[in-house]
Chains A and B, each alone.
Chain A
């Protein structure tokens, strides 16, 4: 028995415990065993099917659901492990066997697609990146908030999982989110849910309880984020642990969620008002408390789920030179697209006159990306690309990348060539590579597939191989005039 234990020994004990509880048992262990087996056997097409986007083809089979659930729990462990590393809770470098597993799992092409594009998770990517580059990660904070995060996670029980399944477009025997909203509109249904004994609870009851518990969970995570708001990077890492769900609530369900809370408040008040008149004072007090609580909850949901929290760690990932160097073609582009562009993009339509459309773009860039060197624009016509590039690079010194997401299905070779030309012009004439905090580049996506990533720093060769004659000075001036 050691009286005073060394920090490194404690870290090793922590890692063993973390693995025992979050990796080596339960659903994570099932997921790891199945996934690693498929990877080792090179079952490429099986993995492609099993790890597909459920929006492309729904997942109904029990065996598939179990597999994906296990895989999600394994990624949850990787996310926790990354925060544990970032907070100095576990030692670095990780044991060789664990490193090998992480490289094999997270380096698999299908897995990458799954957790960078279909269901983006930043923390496992950071973990993979660091291990792949043999990097020791600098701690960004103390372990206590990590411990709190794990403690809060105990609130995620079966009821909450059922509710989240519904939020994720899931169904239980045709009972879906719309049906749940109907449940919430009926005071008698709610009363019977609350009074039903635990053994007699139905799946609908469980979802209702899960909804309440998850609301409480959002409150608690919000408190944790507030307590750590001075450490934005840590705050961001803690946020990303739930980032997928928070973004889902924020982007697509915030309004529904708020209306559910409003409805519950209205129902609560209605129920209290039915009480005998002699309880009037007590009832009024309770109504006031409930209204106050509702407002707190609404604020908390807005705060907790806000993607703003997630940006610091994304920046850390993207703007860290080593991390940027590791960006390769398709996969990290997918990450960038979903992580940045999905939230802050501007829809630009060619139906709006140029003298309105271009100032609007510039305003959008200046307001939304004041410190970023990356912007996202959704355009419906390719011919807008060049004027926009001129406009953005001319007016914003720090701008490095512009992501264009074209409504047109296919991006032709001619379009790519045009953009390459533009890049060369800017590279040579404006000398922006040195000025921008990122190497100059254009990232191009189509409606269905991502086509090209052209960062000038790492991909200069591709650009210089392009031999077609460049436009002359006059042509450039003419182009620039179009954006005045």
Chain B
């Protein structure tokens, strides 16, 4: 195993952090999507990273937030607060590993699914405006990103799974976030424009996703390349929900991620 017992962190909803036993060089933050949760969105990934050498020198955060009860902008500010705090290890309730107060990670990788991709890019825009020092260390890895929104936002209810499938029957009213995720919504249009502007200045590499992974059976979001994001990949026989889930019999999402770490 490569990490200490996970720790609850005081950001978002049920967020947890795995601290490397070794001196950490990377910070990896996982951000779920609509109706996801810190862990379940990624299935068995929190355990599987314990056996992956690529994560041996990484502190890993599985970030959770209330995706049904607020708007994307609010979600992005909360995420920014977490990233900003996590980049300074002394801010975090981590076990003592003998690291100096000003210790810095070499890279910060934000791995996001669906709505999480929108929230993450918004958080990075917020970071840009805040002139933080860590922005040029950031990389984005996106699974089924929702940055073009959805032609049928109700389709996001596909994200109710397991026992919560029952809720789909009742949950027919609009969640506030679904307005943000409509195709050409005001929020998504602004996101696109702001990203364009910054990329045009030549200082926006942090906004270009290093990897984008789509589901073959994508029915929820519009599948289309976003600005200068890297070449897109696709996972066969996966859906919007399963494209980022990793377990012992389905490791393809992890394989894509590891190439970027």
Residues of B within 8 A of A190 (CB): 170
Which A residues touch B165, using CB under 8 A?
A: 289-290, 293
Q: List 11 A-B contacts (CB under 8 A).
A: A3-B22, A3-B23, A17-B5, A144-B47, A198-B66, A198-B69, A216-B163, A219-B162, A264-B166, A268-B169, A293-B163
Q: In the bound complex, what is the Cα–Cα distance between A10 and B39 (angstroms)?
A: 24
Query: Do A212 and B6 touch across chains, with their CB atoms under 8 A apart?
Result: no
The answer to whether A5 and B21 touch (CB under 8 A), given A151-B39, A290-B166, is: yes
Flag whether A143 is at the interface (Cβ < 8 A): yes
Residues in chain B near residue A143, CB distance under 8 A:
1
Q: Which of A16, A151, A219 contacts B95 (CB 8 A)?
A: A16
Beyond A151-B39, A151-B46, A216-B162, is A21–B168 a contact (Cβ under 8 Å)? no
Q: Which residues of A contact B8 (CB under 8 A)?
A: 21
In the complex, whether A265 has a CB less than 8 A from a CB of chain B is yes
Q: Which of the residues B4, B51, B164 comes within 8 Å of A212, measured between beta carbons?
A: B164
Q: How far is the CA of A143 from the CA of B51 in the complex (A)?
A: 12
Q: Which single member of B39, B95, B171 contacts A17 (CB below 8 Å)?
A: B95
Chain B residues with CB below 8 A from A2, complex form: 22
Among B95, B162, B167, contact of A194 (Cβ-Cβ < 8 Å): B167
Contact with A along B24-60 (1 / 0, CB 8 A): 0000000000000011000010110011000000000
Q: Which residue of B lies closest to A2 (CB)?
A: B22
Q: How far is the CA of A24 from the CA of B2 in the complex (A)?
A: 24
A-side interface residues toward B, CB under 8 Å?
Answer: 1-5, 10, 13-14, 16-18, 20-21, 143-144, 147-148, 150-151, 154, 157, 190-191, 194-195, 197-198, 212-213, 215-216, 219, 264-265, 267-269, 271-272, 275, 286, 289-290, 293, 297
Report how far A197 CA is from B175 CA in the complex, Å.
11
Chain B facing A: main interface SS? loop
Asked whether A21 lies within 8 Å of B5 as measured between CB atoms, the reply is: yes
Q: Which of A3, A16, A150 meets B6, CB within 8 Å?
A: A150
Kindly supply a per-residue 1/0 record for chain B positions 66-90, scoring 1 wherever the CB is within 8 Å of any chain A CB and 0 otherwise: 1001000000000000000000000
Contacts of A20 in B (CB 8 A): 95
B196 within 8 A of A: no
**Inter-chain contacts of B168 with A (CB < 8 A):** 268, 286, 289-290
A212 touches B166 (CB 8 A): yes
Known: A10-B21, A144-B50. A271 touches B4 (CB 8 A): no
CA distance A384 to B197 in the complex (A): 90
Whether, in the assembled complex, B14 has its beta carbon less than 8 Å from a beta carbon of chain A, the answer is yes
Please tell me if the beta carbons of A17 and B163 are within 8 angstroms of each other in the complex. no
Q: Which residues of A contact B7 (CB under 8 A)?
A: 17, 21
Against A, the Cβ 8 Å flags (1 = close, 0 = not) of B148-177 are 000000000000001111111111110000
Task: Name the A residues within 8 Å of B23 (CB-CB).
Answer: 1, 3
B170:A194 contact, CB within 8 angstroms: yes
Q: In the complex, how many angstroms separate the beta carbon of A164 from the nearest chain B beta carbon?
A: 16
Q: Which residues of B contact A4 (CB under 8 A)?
A: 22
B233 in the interface, Cβ–Cβ < 8 Å? no
| Given A17-B4, A148-B47, A190-B170, 12 other A-B residues pairs in contact with their CB atoms under 8 A | A13-B21, A17-B7, A20-B95, A143-B1, A150-B6, A154-B38, A198-B69, A215-B163, A216-B163, A286-B168, A290-B165, A293-B163
Once the chains bind, are B163 and A297 in contact (CB under 8 Å)? yes
Pick the residue among A14, A154, A213, A275 that contacts B4 (CB under 8 A).
Answer: A14
Given A13-B95, A264-B166, A150-B171 contact (CB < 8 Å): no
State how many angstroms separate the Cβ of B94 from the closest Cβ of chain A: 10
- Once bound together, how far apart are the Cα atoms of A214 and B166, in whole Å? 14
Cβ-defined contact, B169 with A151, below 8 A: no
Alpha-carbon distance between A17 and B168 when the two chains are bound, in angstroms: 39
Q: Are A150 and B163 in contact (CB under 8 A)?
A: no
Q: Do B21 and A271 have beta carbons less than 8 Å apart?
A: no
Is B16 on the interface with A (CB-CB < 8 A)? yes
- Shortest A214–chain B CB gap in Å is 9
**Is B137 part of the binding interface, using a Cβ–Cβ cutoff of 8 Å?**
no
- Tell me if B98 is interfacial: C-beta within 8 Å of chain A: yes
Which of A5, A213, A290 sits near B169, CB closer than 8 Å? A290
Task: Verify A293–B162 contact, CB threshold 8 A.
Answer: yes
B259 to chain A, nearest CB (A): 24
